[in-house]
Amino acid sequence: MLHKIRQYMAMENNHTLSDEVEIDEAFVGGKNKNRHKDKKVEKCQGRSFKDKVPVFGILERGGKLIAKVVPNTQAKTLVPIIKECVKEESVVYTDGWEYTGLHGHYEQRSVDHEKHFYGMTYATDEGEIITISTNGIENAWSHLKRMIFGIYYCVSKKYMQRYIDEFVFRFNTRNFSDSQRFNLLLRNVA
């Protein structure tokens, strides 16, 4: 029954974002070191996700979130999602990960977390102060992982997109009252 409700929550995960957006990936799943030795996965360090589910997210600053389970984190998989969900001419903030194929369509600004952990600020020639960070999307990932760890005992890879849809619904309606959120869900069902 809850999966049917999450299916209607998915309607909140389809928007076109514009202006300033942050993009990032997260890997959802337990830590290998915490598993019983029979369930440990061999060679799964770094960006390997044999034991995790990759989730790609796009957050409009001061606006909505879109998150999708993806088969991998390669540019050929992620760039079409960006082009589908983000209006051209938008400013795209990324971490050090380079998304080839965005140049010419978007203004891409990156922060290197090894040099500037939280982000960086600089002034343009016109005197405009620009802050480059992906703190908003990192905050969303923190909430997602806390939701999964705090609410659910176990989530399966098969239904991960539905859990992500529920999270996006909650995140995008975080300023709603409970009755407003419930009415929105009922409108999605109807």
pLDDT digits (tens, 9 = 90+) for 33-54: 666 676 666 666 655 666 789 9
Its pTM stands at 0.84
Question: Is the distance from CB of 76 to CB of 99 less than 8 angstroms?
Answer: no
pLDDT digits (tens, 9 = 90+) for 142-183: 999 999 888 887 788 888 999 999 999 999 999 999 999 888
pLDDT digits (tens, 9 = 90+) for 137-148: 999 999 999 998
pLDDT score of 144: 94
Q: How far apart are CA 177 and CA 190, in angstroms?
A: 20
- Alpha helix stretches (DSSP H) within the chain: 2-9, 75-85, 135-151, 160-172, 178-189
